[in-house]
Amino acid sequence: MFKAIIKLTALLAAAAALSSCAAATLPAPSAETAQTESAVSTDASDFVSLAEAVPDVILEIRYYSTYNFVGDRIDGYEEPCALMTKEAAAALKEAASDAESKGYMLKIYDAYRPQTAVNNFIEWAEDVDDTRMKEYFYPELDKSVLFDQGYIADKSGHSRGSTVDLTLFDMDTGKELDMGGTFDYFGELSHPDYTGELTQEQIQNRNALRDIMLENGFKPLDTEWWHFTLADEPYPDTYFDFPVSDESVEAE
């Protein structure tokens, strides 16, 4: 009996040790896992129209047109205008002034993007048979890999209201600077640090845009030469979903 008690005690001690060891080796929750679900808001009170806040820019809102990787006007884009948070618009105004001093204008492709538009992208990506715009925007990729490779996601920094997609327009030539690749091209060619077959002029043009934006409070994205986010964005955890329309901000 005494030997049985000793044996049972030893077994319990071993089990406790194993349990303790297992607990010690469990990975800590990642920041992403620990983070609470991001808020979604329809409040446009802190947003402004770039046509009013930064009048010296050129607007070519691609998602209002059909010349984009989907091939249709994107849901949520009710007018060919650009909206941003007041803070981001103020920084962009400084960037526009900086660009002008160097002989350029900023040309805006996209700014605030409603969650409705992001949902439209997701629906399009799930329809692998719709490849109308493959030749122009993803000729090197099979559409089925766009999710896995991060080109399409269920959330976009643009929906937080302080991100802008843009290029430089040369006021002397009356043309966009040659960046060696088009806006929204899915591939390594779009990476800001890509050199590949780019000419020295194309590399310098990308650097010119990057320098202007960094000097005026924006941070780049390592996969898209045209994409910049206000470094101190006011809504880092909030995704907005109201239409891209001047009425959205005029009503506030």
Q: What is the tens place of the pLDDT at every residue in 155-164?
A: 999 999 999 9
Task: Please report whether residue 79 resides in a domain.
Answer: yes
Task: Please report whether residue 18 resides in a domain.
Answer: no
pLDDT score for 38: 76
pLDDT score for 107: 98
Task: Please report whether residue 145 resides in a domain.
Answer: yes
Higher pLDDT, 122 or 1: 122
Q: Read off the pLDDT of each residue in 137-151 and give the average, rounded to a whole number.
A: 95
Residue 154 in this model has a pLDDT that exceeds 80 = yes
Residue with tokens 């609470």: 36
pLDDT-based confidence at 126, cuts 50/70/90? very high
pLDDT score for 252: 53
Residue 20 in this model has a pLDDT that exceeds 50 = no
Cα–Cα distance measured from residue 89 to residue 111, given in angstroms and rounded to the nearest whole number: 10
Residue 84 in this model has a pLDDT that exceeds 50 = yes
pLDDT score for 68: 98
pLDDT score for 11: 39
Cα–Cα distance measured from residue 89 to residue 200, given in angstroms and rounded to the nearest whole number: 31
Cα-based distances in Å from 94 to 72, 89, 146, 211: 33, 9, 35, 13
pLDDT score for 203: 97
Number of structural domains the chain divides into: 1
What is the domain-level CATH number for residue 63?
3.30.1380.10
pLDDT > 90: percent of the chain: 83
Q: How far apart are the first and last CA of the chain?
A: 82
pLDDT score for 169: 98
pLDDT > 70: percent of the chain: 85
Residue 113 in this model has a pLDDT that exceeds 60 = yes
pLDDT score for 251: 60
Task: Please report whether residue 230 resides in a domain.
Answer: yes
Q: Read off the pLDDT of each residue in 194-213 and give the average, rounded to a whole number.
A: 97
Phi, psi of 104 (to 5 degrees): -120, 165
Q: Which domain holds residue 196?
A: 47-250
Would you tell me how many other CB atoms lie within 10 Å of the CB of residue 109? 20
Q: What's the pLDDT tens digit per position in 28-63? A: 333 333 334 678 999 999 999 999 999 999 999 999
Note the pTM of the prediction, 2 decimals.
Answer: 0.84
224 belongs to the catalytic site? yes
Residue 235 has which token pair?
Answer: 């809504």
Task: Please report whether residue 21 resides in a domain.
Answer: no
Residue 229 in this model has a pLDDT that exceeds 60 = yes
Catalytic position from the list 87, 176, 224, 233: 224
Residue 22 in this model has a pLDDT that exceeds 60 = no
Task: Please report whether residue 5 resides in a domain.
Answer: no
